[in-house]
Amino acid sequence: MVSRTSSPRHIVSESSTIRRVFPAQVEALVLVVALGVCTGIWGWMRRWMSDDGLIVLRTVRNLLAGHGPVFNAGERVEANTSTLWQYLIYGVSLLSDARLEIIALWLALGLSVAAVAVSTWATARLNWGSYVLPVGALVYIALPPARDFFTSGLEWGLSIFWIAVAWLLLVRWSGVTTNTVTYVLAFWAGLSWLVRPELALYGGFIGILLLAACRSWKRAGLILLAALPVPAGYEIFRMGYYGLLVPHTAVAKSASDAMWGQGWKYVSDLTSPYNLWLVLAFVVAGGLLAVWRRPGHFALRSRTMVIVLMLACGIIHVVYVMRVGGDFMHGRMLLLPLFAMLQPVWVLPVRHVIEAIIPIAVAVWATIVSINGYHWYYNNDPTTLDIVDERAFWLRITHHSAEDPMLVATDFLKADRMSGYQEALDEAFRQPTGMLMPILKNPDPEEFGWITVPRMVRESAPAYTHQMDTIPITVYYTNMGMTSMNAPLNVRVLDPIGLSTPIAARGPRIEGERIGHDKYLPEYWQLADSASDVHRLPFFASPEKVPAARDALFTPDFVDLYATYRAPLTPQRFIANMKWALKNGRTLEISHDLDDYAGQPVQTGETIVWPIRWGDDSHPQTFLTWPM
């Protein structure tokens, strides 16, 4: 019998490979730690909490109180874009007594650090046997908006972590033939829809690649079985519970509309201040050099293919952001596609001295950007701009500094427009109040305050509106994060731009307004959708229009809409909501012109009745749960 032993040449080859790879792995591990530590330090230096981050925490508070995943107890409205982010905070809060704001801060920062570390290790795996230096990593970390959204209370840390892990799994999948990594990658791809809806683009392309590369129908079935149950199950829940196919925020922002001109302006707003196009040209050159130095074959299950996939997803994502007009926050919506496109060049191999030129050039650029920051916004009034540095905006509005940022909800009470808010809430619980309204006390200088609007009296209202006196105290304000997190859960907090208000979300867009803030529900509609007394309203709110607006709330379109999120959630309502989500839920638009509803039949059903009863709500800090 011939013994099958390795030849001396083969043994020498394996030994030399180990000698090359092991030191490179150690160097990559050192780089992982170094970049992770830098991310943590720089993220902490720019730590903060945004008003939008507080919106997420209001939903978590309702979950903890037993009201369900809602923004206001009694109204099934999904006011958050990221499903997993709110449940992640909720899960940690069950194990910790820390404030929700602090939990959100550390979760976001921790996931951001993990994302940078995972990306570094994953891209280094593409270059085993070569020492690597950070390139794409420096580009991303140096950008002020990237550092800002390492925290902020929003899901950006979770989002870049999902992209980083997807990239690691793709790199691993391209280099092995085992099935385990395939199914793990399929499951991870399925979660994309629940991290952020637009990340379904990445998850979908990953799923298509996995199915195209598999060699049997059985394996294809197992891939689908791993990927689909979680997102499909939640989508069924969303349709039945909320009556929608997408998060309510997508309805409010009319994400299906095209605004190419504003979208290009948004891209330029990120690229121009930092000369980002120039440094990206260097990065692309470095990537091409790395590919040329190590050519590879092109196949479905290859490293070349996963690089192409990540780049293609990032480019399509940028095009989508441009199409919807971008965002009102500087750089925010472009961070995820930029992070994705930088993954293949996150670190680059350095085999010769000349190849170190690009990492050094990028490091010089990153140093300059880190030192200079984005001073342009600090020299202009951010309230007059349609794209703002959100962190700088809130530092200014709340009278905080970079050294003393706002981290918890009470820090926002320093804002001028929250002046007298808590006192007005106390007054609202002492007197029968239907609504709190912000007012401008003195236009020069601007001085804001809050007033209470008396509650309706049955004897003075039409019979069919009597049921509206069950609606709790209502607050309407654009920045609903700071108002909602500084109010008890037995106060209903809505916004006129529609994030938590279905009748505002389905209203007309206002031409020329900021992206994400281009809808507005007029004051008389706000007052109509509350328990305010129409005979005792402030003059500036067009009180003469409130009765007609309240009548409109009882016309068929409004009644059907209210039923989807306020009617008791029975099995019949769940099924009806699923049908509505596929039909009117996609297309219903509401006019703010009262003449459009004049003469329509009024329905006197129970859809306006508040579906839950609070217990003793005499104290504004009484948090109560659903009645048994």
pLDDT in tens, 400-432: 998 999 999 999 999 999 999 999 999 999 988
Q: Quick one: pLDDT at residue 385?
A: 65
At 600-623, the pLDDT tens digits run 888 766 666 777 766 443 333 333
Range from 166-180, 484-498, 531-545, 608-622 carrying the lowest mean pLDDT = 608-622
Contacts of 507 (CB under 8 A, 6+ apart): 498, 519, 520, 521, 589, 590, 591, 592
Answer for the pair 433, 412: CB distance below 8 angstroms, yes or no: no
Q: How far is CA 604 from the centre of its chain?
A: 38
- What value does the mean pLDDT take over residues 354-371? 86
> How far is residue 80's CA from residue 71's CA, in Å, rounded to a whole number?
9
Contacts of 214 (CB under 8 A, 6+ apart): 182, 220, 223
221, amino acid identity: G
Helix (H, G, I), strand (E, B) or coil at 556: helix
> 303 vs 167, 173, 199, 561, CA distance in Å?
11, 9, 21, 49
12 falls in which pLDDT band (50, 70, 90)? very low
What's the pTM value of the predicted model, to 2 decimals? 0.92
> How far is residue 593's CA from residue 260's CA, in Å, rounded to a whole number?
29
Which letter does DSSP use for residue 435 in this model? E
Half-sphere exposure of 306 (CA within 13 A, CB side): 24
Work out the angle between the directed axes of helices 332-342 and 260-271 (0-180°, nearest 10).
70
Helix (H, G, I), strand (E, B) or coil at 374: coil
> 374 vs 46, 143, 271, CA distance in Å?
13, 9, 12
* Mean of all residue pLDDT scores within the chain: 87
Give domain limits for the chain: 24-373, 415-597
Q: How far is CA 586 from the centre of its chain?
A: 21
Give backbone dihedrals phi and psi of 388, rounded to 5 degrees, phi first. -125, 155
Q: How far is CA 183 from the centre of its chain?
A: 27
Give backbone dihedrals phi and psi of 222, rounded to 5 degrees, phi first. -70, -35
Q: Where are the beta strands (DSSP E) in 264-380?
A: 347-349
Q: What is the largest CA-CA distance in the chain?
A: 106
- Give me 513's structure tokens: 């307004």
